[in-house]
Amino acid sequence: MPKQLKFNFGKDWTNGEIKFPPHFTPEIIHSALYIWNAGNDNIEGGRRIDYLHKNLGAKKMAFIMSILVLPDLIELIMNKGITLQDVFNTNMNQTKH
């Protein structure tokens, strides 16, 4: 990541005037956009995910990935009639590793 981009990445431009919940800070939003803007390039997307995971940790990455999968989850629920109960039942029937 270029030095200038790294300096401003995730910066709170409100100077602390707005309190953000931990799952929705500018850093989380910028990181999700950073991954999203890799587009369909899976290799670059993977590199970005690895970079952010190494620098931000697992908890923040969970927040970031949840933002990225939310539109797909909404589409499944709205367009395909899948309920959250269906999702939970599918996960419960899978083998845990």
Tens of pLDDT, residue by residue over 37-72, are: 999 999 999 999 999 999 999 999 999 999 999 988
Q: Is the pLDDT score of 7 beyond 60?
A: no
pLDDT of 72 reads 85
> pTM for the whole thing?
0.69
Helix ranges (H only) for 1-97 are 3-8, 26-36, 42-56, 58-80, 84-93
Q: Is the dihedral of CA 60, 66, 69, 71 positive or negative?
A: negative
pLDDT in the model for residue 16: 74
